[in-house]
Structure 1
Amino acid sequence: MNREDAASPENRDDDEARHLARLLPPPVTEDLSPERFRHQKELLMNHIDADARRDSRAQPAARPTRRLLRPALLVPVSAMALAGILAGGLALGTDNKEDRARTTTATATRGTDSLLHRLSTVALTSEAPVVRDDQFLYTRSKVREAEIGSGKAVLSPLTETEGWAPQDPRPLKKIGLTRVNGKDEVSNAPLGDDNGTPAGLSRPTYHWLASLPTDPDELLAYLRTHVREDAGRETDQIVFEQIGVLLGGVLPPKTAAALYRAAANIPGVKEAPDAKDAIGRTGLGIAREDTKHGNRTEWVFDKDDYSFLGSRAYRTKDAPYAKAGTLLSSTAEIEHAIVDEAGQVPGKAAPGSTGKQQAG
């Protein structure tokens, strides 16, 4: 292979497709001989390529971002659908219109929808942790936030924050412990939760997250109904930002996959090339702008393993407290773990611990 061939877009796509495929379990093919498997796989890929060529002839000239089409297609088809097709020994004849229709639908994935579906597919392959109700979600992150108390947005210095969120499903009056610059602060239930804050959007425990709908449309409808409205802001922007908050934790694989697909169904969500988190890590970005309010929020994902790196938000319109382009917040996710006590750092016992600390 010469240099020009090695650098071609098709070969780059194939490299990315192979990388994505390695993140997924190998297809089950014990019912077929290796020769038969290769034969069926070649037939399927020929169908995909033929449909893609017909699609490109029927559509206007594609934008460069549509080069993401092929790797997005290969992950679910080659590692999951292909496994089911080949294990069952299904013959892929040229007259099988139903299979051709399904393949054509798969090749229609584009742009942001493609990236979010890749993230969803990878999320499904992650291992689900074992989380008990008496444990805590530990989060270590770096954060910058703007304060507007003086009438002007003043950005704070980069601060490392540790947090412990109780997984107890009961309504709690102490809903978490936060450590900033070595100082511990207990988070109390917000006003109105006189009997304690139950598990929910404002206190998302692992098992509550696992109870959410895994159908993307149902999940999106649930979020639109349950997020706290904010006068002057778009509900879809609030939902988008709420999903970003949930991504910055430990999620059940099916819930994570559904959140990515629900985000793909929110109008206005788009890719943000070379997005950066609070510590300057550049990755794959997903963004949405509240055009009425003038705020834009971006999520950042690792380019190699698709893990969630962090987020940032900034103004897109001039406002009395900040000009367009002003950074309002930025986060970088450093570490997540499940621990037995509030104050415990993963791999270490909680300082001064005399027994398991319970949420209350």
Structure 2
Amino acid sequence: MNDGDRHEIARLLPAPADQDLPPEQHFRRKELLMHRIDREIAQETDRERDARTRQGRRLLRPALLAPATALTLAGALAAGVALNGGAREHSGTSAHGVATDMRPAAALLGRISDAAGERTVPRVRDDQFVYTREKLQGADLTSGKAVIDPLAERESWSAQEPGPLHKLGLVRENGETLPINAQLGDTDGTPAGLSRPTYSWFATLPTDPDKLLAYFYAHTPFAEGRGRDQAVFEQIGSLLGGMMPPATAAALYQAAAKIPGVTAAPQAHDAIGRRGLGIARDDARYGVRTEWVFDKKDYSFLGSRSYLIKGRSYGKAGTLLSSEAELEIDVVDKAGERP
């Protein structure tokens, strides 16, 4: 498994294990999930191919004996293509695959963007820490079945220095406080960026939605077999709720609205059951839906969820994979200090 694989699957698992699990156990969980899903997809593909072959053999003789029927079918298919083409023309997706209309999801993200652009956010200095408090829950797949961990509260302090840093901050969970170490492979330390977003780094991002989306497509790691659109959606989702300039937050939501396949999710709720306005995208290959949840009144970010929409050997459709609820975010001068 390469770094791209690890990045892609991270959103399907509980919070980063280098904070509360030995690294080898963390990556073992990721590898088990990736290998299990890939194996099941391969098996499904073989079954589908066999089914198509059998169906083709059954249909071959009637087609040869009834050319008039075949011509009728061809005409129907041509009409269907024309109708489908018309539907695509009005579906809000341009030729290069970017959403361009005001579908319910795009309209909702537009309102969320407007609210984010008007929100007052403190300016964060490079010598400060961003404090977050959240509730988390996830599935442990090491047994071969999805076992849901108890809901846990986590506090974290993220260093805002541009870096590169070897100590990225602190995390406190279940009464234990641990350091957040540099990302795997960053022997010289982890700089500010996608994997360690800081306020100053957010401020360097383009605020034009098209340019910002192009940045994510250019810099998001892509694992083999995973869709680029889903990877970018999950990458943006990993940044939501962070401390960033209002203009950046507004552009972030406008960029997300341009990702093909993004839909509204009316029944979305966070880890503690708060129902809100939902934005979702389905990962068709892996049978997973990822949802973002926003407050119905002020459009602030509440949390996110990922769950199966297709049964797998380790869980049926609807099985929770990860869930979070953001409770508090603020700025402090020292790691370990509460607002």
Fold conserved between structures, TM > 0.5: yes
1:172 maps to amino acid: L
Deviation at 1:230, TM superposition (A): 2.4
**What is the rounded CA distance, in whole Å, between the counterparts of 2:238 and 2:110 in structure 1?**
19
CA displacement 1:108-135 (0-9 Å, x = unmatched): 7341111101111111111231211000
**What is the rounded CA distance, in whole Å, between the counterparts of 2:176 and 2:271 in structure 1?**
22
Match of 2:251 in 1: 258
Report which stretch shifted further, 314-323 or 327-336.
314-323
**What is the rounded CA distance, in whole Å, between the counterparts of 2:105 and 2:193 in structure 1?**
28
Q: Does 1:197 align with 2:190?
A: yes
Match of 2:78 in 1: none
Match of 2:148 in 1: 155
1:86-105 equivalences under 5 Å are: none
| Pairing partner for 1:172 from 158, 165, 168 | 165
Match of 2:55 in 1: none
Q: Does 1:307 align with 2:300?
A: yes
- In the TM superposition, structure 1's runs of 4+ consecutive aligned residues that sit over 4 Å from their partners are none
**What is the rounded CA distance, in whole Å, between the counterparts of 1:275 and 1:121 in structure 2?**
21
**What is the rounded CA distance, in whole Å, between the counterparts of 1:225 and 1:198 in structure 2?**
18
CA displacement 1:129-184 (0-9 Å, x = unmatched): 12110000000000001111222221110000000000000100011211001200
Gaps of 5+ in 1: 1-59, 61-107, 347-360
Mapped contact 1:232–1:293 kept (Cα < 8 A): no
Aligned-residue Cα RMSD (Å) equals 1.4
Mapped contact 2:241–2:301 kept (Cα < 8 A): yes
Match of 1:229 in 2: 222
**What is the rounded CA distance, in whole Å, between the counterparts of 1:226 and 1:145 in structure 2?**
27
CA 1:267/1:232 → structure 2, altered by over 3 Å: closer, same or farther? same
What TM-score, normalized by structure 2, do the two folds share?
A: 0.69
SS across alignment from 2:337: coil
| Pairing partner for 1:214 from 185, 200, 207 | 207
CA displacement 1:236-282 (0-9 Å, x = unmatched): 11211121121122121011001100110000000000311000000
Match of 1:322 in 2: 315
Q: Does 1:288 align with 2:263?
A: no
Percent identity, please: 61
Report which stretch shifted further, 136-145 or 118-127.
118-127
CA displacement 1:213-252 (0-9 Å, x = unmatched): 1111111111112112223322211211121121122121
2:152 maps to amino acid: T
- Higher RCO by CA contacts (8 Å cutoff, separation 6 or greater): 2
Mapped contact 1:177–1:342 kept (Cα < 8 A): yes
Match of 2:269 in 1: 276
Match of 2:6 in 1: none
| Pairing partner for 1:242 from 213, 235, 251 | 235
Match of 1:132 in 2: 125
**What is the rounded CA distance, in whole Å, between the counterparts of 1:247 and 1:216 in structure 2?**
15
**What is the rounded CA distance, in whole Å, between the counterparts of 1:113 and 1:269 in structure 2?**
8
**What is the rounded CA distance, in whole Å, between the counterparts of 1:209 and 1:249 in structure 2?**
9
SS across alignment from 1:143: strand
1:70-81 equivalences under 5 Å are: none
CA displacement 1:162-209 (0-9 Å, x = unmatched): 000000001000112110012001111122100000000000000101
SS across alignment from 1:120: helix
CA displacement 1:284-306 (0-9 Å, x = unmatched): 00000011221100001000111
1:20-35 equivalences under 5 Å are: none
CA displacement 1:68-95 (0-9 Å, x = unmatched): xxxxxxxxxxxxxxxxxxxxxxxxxxxx
**What is the rounded CA distance, in whole Å, between the counterparts of 1:286 and 1:188 in structure 2?**
32
Mapped contact 2:310–2:317 kept (Cα < 8 A): yes
What TM-score, normalized by structure 1, do the two folds share?
A: 0.65
Mapped contact 2:121–2:243 kept (Cα < 8 A): no
**What is the rounded CA distance, in whole Å, between the counterparts of 1:214 and 1:132 in structure 2?**
21
Mapped contact 2:270–2:325 kept (Cα < 8 A): yes
SS across alignment from 2:189: coil
Match of 1:343 in 2: 336
SS across alignment from 2:276: strand
SS across alignment from 2:236: helix
CA displacement 1:304-356 (0-9 Å, x = unmatched): 1111000000011122222221100110000000000000010xxxxxxxxxx
